[in-house]
């Protein structure tokens, strides 16, 4: 319980957030890229304390494409809305178009996604059901796929979001606005007879938040910048959602790019000036701390789970894979062990394998351990604890013809893997404790001990984690073996948590 909160309210990668309030409860969705299950749905009673209640997309379509990691593809910025008794998520795949799925309960089950608007480079969709019964969809463009960007388009759709009614039209052209670039991420609202489009511009690392309004949904729109970094340390504060509390307080949720921790979640106060324009933060500057929302002042703090005791028979909601999962990769018997099959697909680059059970690397200093036993006969079988970005580092076990070894390796794009540490275990049945310590700058230190009474041995010190393509670095567990081997090896991971 606190009367003051500090930003970020979630210091981990929750990219491109969108949020709504339904009744007394807030719900938030975020981009998930190639991570599956995708489309995490978070729930909060007070805007500060969040828990994951679902992953709405069990697998990415088309399955045959996303059976391998497709870094930079998959689910980009989604929107969540509540209409006609249903929760709706609209999400873009920049290589395929805009998709929709629904649920009666945000915890699921969610419907299979259906395509609404096919096309290359259509991103950041947001729907609105108007008072006259008509329904609209605003979206942006990815230049990497479509050849154009810096513009927002609007199209009418059927109220069931199954059919597009007419061609899209450009409602805001960023090229016609002085100083604007990369105008994207629109969110569509209606207030006091005005149609509002909240949209970021200027790019992820250094951009700002704008708001545009019109008396007609199709424009013309007038706009202004309503949130920018100014003299604060919060770079690129933008892309998010306006919500109103049951007490009538207005708030804005947005991200800040924090390499290597990705896009972390901030909460800003919002009020409306005498001319009816939103003022976000402290006169348009992000606040680092602020009086908490009314309901948060009486709530015990909590946040999405980080550890896992592996006492459930299904993966906890903080976990995801690098591609569409195979049920044979992981067995959870509820006994405190996660059994991972050593899939025979190791070509020497962990970024190419899908069977990494991961979660975001958190931006607060952390210290966690797990245990690992490797049961394998095929030389080259390995398993471990990895920090995965564009490059990576891991500590784990490797089995070869001479026995089982504790090892640490790093990977650099274009250079491949480098062995940083190697020590032979006294016997193949020896379980090893692995430990990862990370700082608030993303410096990671890997340690191990082979027996409970042994001191921790440092295998790799101060590895600088880096982000992946549009995502944070990730913490992951993996097991793999060379192609052509039987794939019968298994890695047994114990609970992941504090030492």
**pLDDT tens-digit series, residues 35-68:** 999 999 999 999 999 999 999 999 999 999 999 9
User: Looking at residue 426, what is its pLDDT?
Assistant: 74
CATH number of 4-298: 2.115.10.20
Q: For the chain, give the number of residues.
A: 499
- Mean pLDDT for the stretch of residues 301-313: 94
Q: List, by residue range, all CATH 2.60.120.200 domains of the chain.
A: 330-493
Cβ neighbours of residue 202 closer than 8 Å, sequence gap 6 or more: 180, 181, 182, 208, 236, 238
Residue percentage of the chain with pLDDT more than 90: 94
216 DSSP 8-state letter: S
Catalytic-labelled residue, pool 13, 16, 93, 308: 16
Alpha-carbon distance 217 to 213, whole Å?
9
| DSSP H/E element including 272 | strand 263-272
| DSSP H/E element including 159 | none
pLDDT at 429 over 70: no
Give the count of beta carbons closer than 10 Å to the beta carbon of residue 143: 12
16 is catalytic: yes
- Mean pLDDT for the stretch of residues 81-104: 98
Q: How much is the mean pLDDT over the chain? A: 96
Q: Which CATH class is domain 330-493?
A: mainly beta
- Residue-wise pLDDT for 349-372, tens only, equals 999 999 999 999 999 999 999 999
Q: List, by residue range, all CATH 2.115.10.20 domains of the chain.
A: 4-298
pLDDT at 1 over 70: no
Alpha-carbon distance 73 to 58, whole Å?
16
- Residue-wise pLDDT for 109-132, tens only, equals 999 999 999 999 999 999 999 999
SS3 content of the chain, % helix, strand, coil (to 5): 5, 50, 45
- Mean pLDDT for the stretch of residues 212-224: 98
Give the count of beta carbons closer than 10 Å to the beta carbon of residue 96: 17
- Mean pLDDT for the stretch of residues 155-179: 98
pLDDT at 332 over 60: yes
Catalytic-labelled residue, pool 184, 346, 391, 407: 184
């Amino acid at each position: 319980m606190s009367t003051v909160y500090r930003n970020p309210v979630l210091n981990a990668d929750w990219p491109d957030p969108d949020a709504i309030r339904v009744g007394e409860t807030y719900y938030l969705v975020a981009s998930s890229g190639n991570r599956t299950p995708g489309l995490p749905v978070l729930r909060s009673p007070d805007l500060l304390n969040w828990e994951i209640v679902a992953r709405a997309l069990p697998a990415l379509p088309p399955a045959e494409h996303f059976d391998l990691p497709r870094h930079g593809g998959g689910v980009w910025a989604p929107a969540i809305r509540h209409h006609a008794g249903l929760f709706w998520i609209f999400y873009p795949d920049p290589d395929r178009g805009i998709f929709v799925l629904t649920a009666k309960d945000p915890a699921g089950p969610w419907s299979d996604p259906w395509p609404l608007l096919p096309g290359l480079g259509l991103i950041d969709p947001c729907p609105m059901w108007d008072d006259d019964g008509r329904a609209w969809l605003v979206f942006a463009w990815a230049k990497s796929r479509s050849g154009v960007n810096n513009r927002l388009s609007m199209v009418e759709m059927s109220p069931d979001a199954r059919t597009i009614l007419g061609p899209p039209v450009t409602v805001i052209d960023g090229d016609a606005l002085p100083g604007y670039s990369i105008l994207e991420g629109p969110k569509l609202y209606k207030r006091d007879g005005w149609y509002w489009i909240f949209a970021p511009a200027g790019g992820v690392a250094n951009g700002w938040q704008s708001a545009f309004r019109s008396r007609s949904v199709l424009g013309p729109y007038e706009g202004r910048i309503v949130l920018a970094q100014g003299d604060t340390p919060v770079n690129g504060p933008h892309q998010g959602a306006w919500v109103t509390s049951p007490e009538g307080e207005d708030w804005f949720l947005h991200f800040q790019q924090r390499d290597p921790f990705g896009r972390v979640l901030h909460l800003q106060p919002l009020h409306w000036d005498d001319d009816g324009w939103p003022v976000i933060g402290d006169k348009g500057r992000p606040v680092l701390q602020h009086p908490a929302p009314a309901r948060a002042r009486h709530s015990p703090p909590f946040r999405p789970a980080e550890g896992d005791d592996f006492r459930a028979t299904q993966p906890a909601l903080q976990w995801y894979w690098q591609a569409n999962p195979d049920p044979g990769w992981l067995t959870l018997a509820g006994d405190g062990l996660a059994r991972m099959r050593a899939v025979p697909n190791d070509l020497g680059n962990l970024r190419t394998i899908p069977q990494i059970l991961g979660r975001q690397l958190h931006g607060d200093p952390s210290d966690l351990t797990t245990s690992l036993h490797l049961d394998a006969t095929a030389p080259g079988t390995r398993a471990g604890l990895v920090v995965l970005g564009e490059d990576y580092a891991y500590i784990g076990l490797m089995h070869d013809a001479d026995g089982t070894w504790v090892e640490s390796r790093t990977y650099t794009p274009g250079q491949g893997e480098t062995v940083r540490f190697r020590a032979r275990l006294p016997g193949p049945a020896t379980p090893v404790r692995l430990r990862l310590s990370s700082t608030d700058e993303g410096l990671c230190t890997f340690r191990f001990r082979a027996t409970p009474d042994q001191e921790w041995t440092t295998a790799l010190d101060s590895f600088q984690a880096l982000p992946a393509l549009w995502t944070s670095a990730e913490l992951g567990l993996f097991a793999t073996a060379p192609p052509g081997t039987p794939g019968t090896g298994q890695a047994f991971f114990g609970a992941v948590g504090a030492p």
